[in-house]
Amino acid sequence: MTLHFEWFGFDDAARMALAHGLRKEVFVDEQGFSLEADRDEQDKNALHVLGLDETGAARCTARVFADAPGVWHAGRIAVQRGLRGQGVGRLLLAAVADKARAQGARTLELGARQEVLAEAFEKALDQLCSLPDEKMVSLLASLALQAAPGGRGRLIFSPQGRAQIGAAVVAKANEALAARGAGALALAQETRPLRGGFILADGPVEVNCSFEAMLRLRREALEKPVAEILFGQGKA
């Protein structure tokens, strides 16, 4: 993929909307941060960049601003999920560094810890989704038993998950439920766009047991120890 980078200020409403859209996709929708936390006052003082592909579609974004004389700070570095691991982030950071140097920066600080942490959690999600079928069935059946100990409800999978392991998960969970003298779960006909796990539906009530939801809920508790592993200190 060929990218070209366009720089702009906060007053460029059209480009700013594209950058905010990418940041929402990555930081809010994927990583679970609030919209308010992403759109801080520093946006007004920063230089912003969009990486556009051959069709003009925005694929990545970042911002950079002076933090002190000669010291510039780069952050809000966001790359669309499908393009990660393909060198797009490296090209984006090179463009940011060139811009900062052109503005007189002697030091460029990267506010990239959240991006690195996000990558760690993304890899954890990928590993969960890549479990062999036998292990996946056992994991999801166990999760179903925890979510529905009485054996009530329907399990909703992704289209691929339903076709590949849905029936086996329900059968394994129901085997354990029968041994308890409990009810039986059903395999829902409908599907949802999940990357792993399932949704338990019981009448109007739904319990999100997708891998994405579980990692998001655990992220706050896990970020400190993960940051200690990645960075050697507690604060992310």
pLDDT digits (tens, 9 = 90+) for 187-207: 999 999 998 999 999 988 899
Sign (positive or negative) of CA dihedral 71, 72, 75, 77? negative
Region 170-177: mean pLDDT is: 97
For residue 185, what are the contacts with CB-CB under 8 A and spacing of at least 6?
Answer: 144, 148, 151, 152, 153, 154, 155, 170, 173, 174, 177
Domains, in order of start, for the chain: 4-111 (3.40.630.30), 129-216 (3.30.2320.30)
For residue 148, what are the contacts with CB-CB under 8 A and spacing of at least 6?
Answer: 173, 185, 200, 202
Whether 43 has a pLDDT exceeding 60, the answer reads yes
| CA-wise closest residue to 65 among 96, 38, 25, 36 | 96
pLDDT of residue 31: 77
User: Alpha helices, DSSP H only, in 39-103?
Assistant: 88-102
Q: State percent of the chain over pLDDT 90.
A: 54
Whether 176 has a pLDDT exceeding 80, the answer reads yes
Query: How many CB atoms within 10 Å of residue 190?
Result: 11
Region 29-35: mean pLDDT is: 82
Greater pLDDT, 161 or 228: 161
